[in-house]
Amino acid sequence: MDIRITPSKLSGTLDAISSKSFTHRLLICAALSENKTRIHLNGLSDDIQATINCLQTMGCFIETKEDSLLVTPLKKPLASNVVLNCKESGSTARFLFPLAAHLFDNFTIDGSGNLPSRPFSPICNTLANAGCVFTGGKLPITGRGKIKGGDFFIDGNISSQFISGLLFTLPLLDEDSRIIITTSLESAAYVDMTIEVLSLFGIEIKECESGYTVKGNQEYKTPHTAAAEGDWSNAAFFLCIGALGGSVSMQGLSLNSTQGDKEVMEILRRFGANAGSEGSGFCEVSSGMLNGISIDASQIPDLVPVLAAVASVAAGETKIFNAQRLRLKESDRIQSTFDFLSSLGADVKITDDGLIIHGKDKLKGGTADSAGDHRIVMAAAAVSCVCENPVIIKGYEAVNKSYPSFFDDFKSIGGAVDVI
């Protein structure tokens, strides 16, 4: 499906949606607890629904209310075999992979969209050394045998989600374990987020020089109620809209969050935007004299498409580097960011690990292909407000993956949107 956006100045105040990243983690911990947990949040996405469906397939029950999820933990004894369809959610697949290898004698992890083309061999190799046998390194993958504790070697520069998946599972094993990270750890804040949520459920993880040590035979204990934080990753699109010529405020963001994408505020200040925040979680961004900057994307890969949109009208050169992992997302996100910005008239070039962008006063507009990627859709919508002509986004429904209400919020601050 396609959507047309007529350029307009956008301004207003929005409530941040609940963090997808926090909600995945809360759901998994709640499913492993001894009693029910109520998780408060303000909306679901396709990715969260994938985790809900998989956890229910594994043996727990999750009741959906208007503003919360009531999680009844996994029932025991569990089935000996399970098939988990993770749809397009990489988080679901990578988080639940080690858990399935612990709980089930036989399991299959499957998915759709671009997920089957994304790499799973790192976690397969790690778990194979712990006692499992696998059919291959890409979905669908079938595993046999249950893992035992010990030393788990894993790269840290492919996906931090593999490390989080291990952290959910290793406390349940009989033996003590170590996670030994064999490269630099990228998106480290997401691992910190996992440890924060595990601590909420009584699980202790210790950081060491090589990675993490995990005591075995730990028990998940529910806090009974928990709330998902506001989502910095998705709020970033509207904060960047403020930098692109409007004035946008977001409510409900934790300034002390472990979410790495809260860095968007500091990056927008570096661009030259007026970006301020209050301790109450209120953030406001308005336009300023934008100038090009250098951005190390190793810890904030999800921000690259929308920061590239800001850079497209920032005077001078912006260089985005250490972004090579973006080639393994819902799309090759370096290529798809280049493609959509180029199609709208930006001066952008691809490098081995990122993008170089020379800012213009305005973009011309035109047609942008989403490449089936939710973050490309939202970045193209954000940059529409600095285009001379309408922007048509092909495949706009990809936003349902993380932010189904995105265009409702976009329209509420003055966006002119038509489905075509």
* The predicted structure's pLDDT at residue 78: 85
3-state secondary structure of 269: helix
**For residue 382, what are the CA distances in angstroms to 123, 237, 293, 325, 416?**
36, 6, 19, 23, 12
Instruction: Assess whether 290 and 393 both reside in one domain.
Output: yes
The per-residue pLDDT for range 229-252, each reduced to its tens digit, is: 999 999 999 999 999 998 999 999
Q: Which of 41, 26, 78, 36 is nearest to 57 (CA)?
A: 78
* The predicted structure's pLDDT at residue 344: 98
Last residue of a domain, one of 181, 206, 225: 225
Instruction: Assess whether 283 and 367 both reside in one domain.
Output: yes
Residue with tokens 């109520």: 38
Instruction: Assess whether 368 and 258 both reside in one domain.
Output: yes
* The predicted structure's pLDDT at residue 330: 87
* The predicted structure's pLDDT at residue 329: 86
User: For residues 178 and 37, what is the distance between their CA atoms, to the nearest angstrom?
Assistant: 29
**Residue 66: which residues within 8 A CB-CB, separation 6 or more?**
none
Last residue of a domain, one of 210, 225, 240: 225
389: left (phi over 0), alpha (psi -120 to 50) or beta: beta
Yes or no: say if 153 and 182 are a contact pair by the CB < 8 Å rule: yes
Q: Which of 35, 370, 90 is nearest to 201 (CA)?
A: 35
Which amino acid, one-letter code, is at 413?
Answer: I
Instruction: Assess whether 165 and 304 both reside in one domain.
Output: no
Q: Which of 307, 301, 228 is nearest to 275 (CA)?
A: 307
For helices 90-103 and 20-31, give the axis angle rounded to 10 degrees: 10
Q: Tell me which residue range forms the domain holding 59.
A: 20-225
**E strands, 73-190, where?**
81-85, 106-110, 133-134, 141-144, 151-154, 177-181
Residue with tokens 């962008």: 357
Instruction: Assess whether 367 and 251 both reside in one domain.
Output: yes
Yes or no: say if 370 and 349 are a contact pair by the CB < 8 Å rule: no
Regions of the chain with pLDDT less than 50: none
* The predicted structure's pLDDT at residue 109: 97
Yes or no: say if 186 and 299 are a contact pair by the CB < 8 Å rule: yes
User: For residues 113 and 370, what is the distance between their CA atoms, to the nearest angstrom?
Assistant: 13
* The predicted structure's pLDDT at residue 19: 96
Total domains in the chain come to: 2
The two three-digit tokens of residue 317, written as one number: 């050169």
* The predicted structure's pLDDT at residue 197: 98
Instruction: Assess whether 24 and 13 both reside in one domain.
Output: no
Which helix (H) or strand (E) element contains residue 49?
helix 46-58
Yes or no: say if 39 and 64 are a contact pair by the CB < 8 Å rule: no
The two three-digit tokens of residue 258, written as one number: 């472990």
Which amino acid, one-letter code, is at 22?
Answer: F
Yes or no: say if 84 and 54 are a contact pair by the CB < 8 Å rule: yes
User: For residues 401 and 50, what is the distance between their CA atoms, to the nearest angstrom?
Assistant: 10
**Residue 316: which residues within 8 A CB-CB, separation 6 or more?**
291, 292, 358, 359
Active-site choice (47, 231, 302, 409): 302
Instruction: Assess whether 9 and 25 both reside in one domain.
Output: no
Query: What is the pTM for the complete model shown?
Result: 0.95
Instruction: Assess whether 221 and 257 both reside in one domain.
Output: no
Instruction: Assess whether 275 and 385 both reside in one domain.
Output: yes
**For residue 143, what are the CA distances in angstroms to 7, 55, 80, 108, 201?**
50, 18, 12, 6, 28
* The predicted structure's pLDDT at residue 246: 86
* The predicted structure's pLDDT at residue 223: 98
CATH number for position 48: 3.65.10.10
Q: What's the number of CA atoms in the CB half-sphere (13 Å) around residue 329?
A: 25
* The predicted structure's pLDDT at residue 77: 81
Instruction: Assess whether 202 and 246 both reside in one domain.
Output: no
* The predicted structure's pLDDT at residue 201: 98
Yes or no: say if 126 and 153 are a contact pair by the CB < 8 Å rule: yes
Active site residue 302: yes
Instruction: Assess whether 246 and 308 both reside in one domain.
Output: yes
User: For residues 201 and 411, what is the distance between their CA atoms, to the nearest angstrom?
Assistant: 39
* The predicted structure's pLDDT at residue 12: 97
Last residue of a domain, one of 225, 252, 279: 225
Question: Is 361 exposed, middle or buried (CB count within 10 Å of its CB: 0-12, 13-18, 19+)?
Answer: exposed
Instruction: Assess whether 51 and 151 both reside in one domain.
Output: yes
First-to-last CA distance in the chain?
7
